[in-house]
Amino acid sequence: MNDMSTPGLDTLSAVPFYQPVGNECELFEYAFRKRLPLLIKGPTGCGKTRFVAHMAARLARPLITVACHDDLTAADLVGRHLIGDGQTVWSDGPLTRAVREGGICYLDEIVEARKDTTVVLHPLTDDRRILPIERTGEELQAPDDFMLVVSYNPGYQNLLKSLKPSTRQRFVAISFDFPPAALEEKIVIAETGVSPLVARQLVNLAGHLRQLKDHDLEEAASTRLLVYAASLVQAGCDPVAACEAALVESLTDDKDTAEALLEVIKATFGN
């Protein structure tokens, strides 16, 4: 149904790699300490999900991630009664589990969920910090170590998929973007072990491709895709072939656009 994970991240040795760009790590910690919900805005593949996983590990809190989608309902988040072995048993949803356990609940791409779904978040995002469960009559009080984090890509927003102002104003917000070139090179190297030269070439290539967003490309070349391309190169793949598979084919289905991108890639790697 949803992409949900609850890793046991309780030691600093388990902290996933994340390269800070500004003061986002400190802001996350301040929000956690003051029991404030957090909204993260940024383009696809810029590191939002990795950032949340990194911070959950730093704070030694379990992380429950939900990939939001058009069919996501309030029951998917809160829970439902299930029938089995002749009995009706209540099963907590991921949001309820996070509240009960005192974990971090991360709702990725919250604008993809149905609009009526976000209403269930409102009591958790003000000073009440409660989760009413109508079907069981419970009213859960969120513990101090519970935190709600949501994210979305502003580039996808339209009249049908947007976060209502009444919901947005319940969150502290951080804007993400792709990191500066020097930092992005460090990320690619740290994630893949690729050489500094290849990392520099890939980041330079991404800079050229990102200029095409909203013209020939709907989405920009993400840091995630650069890591994929670098991983292929590190495994022995030809750089041009790696970029064609990880970047071109992921970014466009248009034949002419793909050929133009491939020419830029060949020029970047001197082919």
Q: Of 175, 210, 241, which residue sits at a domain end?
A: 175
Q: What CATH number did the domain enclosing 110 receive?
A: 3.40.50.300
pLDDT digits (tens, 9 = 90+) for 90-138: 999 999 999 999 999 999 999 888 877 888 999 999 999 999 999 899 9
Task: Based on the fold, state whether residues 61 and 133 are members of the same structural domain.
Answer: yes
- Contact, 192 vs 227, CB < 8 A? yes
Spatial CB neighbours of 160, under 8 Å, sequence gap ≥ 6: none
pLDDT digits (tens, 9 = 90+) for 153-204: 987 655 456 778 888 899 999 999 999 999 999 999 999 999 999 999 999 9
The total domain count for the chain is 2
The strand ranges marked E within the chain are: 38-41, 63-67, 79-84, 87-92, 104-108, 130-133, 138-141, 147-152, 172-175
Sign of the dihedral through C-alpha 39, 219, 264, 240: positive
pTM value is 0.87
Task: Based on the fold, state whether residues 210 and 160 are members of the same structural domain.
Answer: no
- Contact, 171 vs 38, CB < 8 A? yes
Distance CA 133, CA 202 (A): 49
The SS3 call for residue 78 is helix
Q: Of 160, 175, 190, which residue sits at a domain end?
A: 175
Task: Based on the fold, state whether residues 52 and 170 are members of the same structural domain.
Answer: yes
